[in-house]
Amino acid sequence: MKFAIALFSAAHAPSSRRALLFAQAALAGGHEIVRLFFYQDGVHNASGSVVTPQDELDLPRQWRTFVTEHQLDGVVCIAAALRRGVLNEEEAGRYQREAVAVAAPWELSGLGQLHDAVQDADRLICFGGA
């Protein structure tokens, strides 16, 4: 089965951990992940500037490692990222900001990427959100 996964919750939210566990289990079960799409507060899971307390799980690091190891398509909604100050080098330059929080393996892009993933997948699985 081919899955598209959308994550709407921040890095410290339990649903972010559940999303990662689901994604790991899906691949371990022989399924395919068409795309991971981080939207709303979920963009913080792709941020390299999140500092996690030592007694908590560093989900942004775990997501980055997971996406890199499995060569997955990890897309961060550009509008949600800009609103939250989660910028890549190109957007930081465009808006004359010094902070760069998003780098490989993440790609900043629009909601069209989620639409395309839904068209290619058998199921869209969403985590978090209101």
125 has pLDDT over 80:
yes
Does the annotation mark 77 as catalytic?
yes
Catalytic residue among 77, 78, 87, 117: 77
**HSE of 107 in the Cβ direction (CA atoms, 13 Å)?**
15
19 pLDDT exceeds 90?
A: yes
Residue range 58-78, pLDDT digits in tens: 999 999 999 999 999 999 999
List the domain boundaries for the chain.
2-127
Its sign, for the CA torsion 102, 105, 110, 91, is positive
Q: Does domain 2-127 have CATH number 3.40.1260.10?
A: yes
The arithmetic mean of pLDDT across residues 81-108, rounded, is: 91
Mean pLDDT of 1-25: 97
Cα 61 from Cα 27, distance rounded (Å):
19
In the chain, the percentage of residues whose pLDDT exceeds 90 is: 85
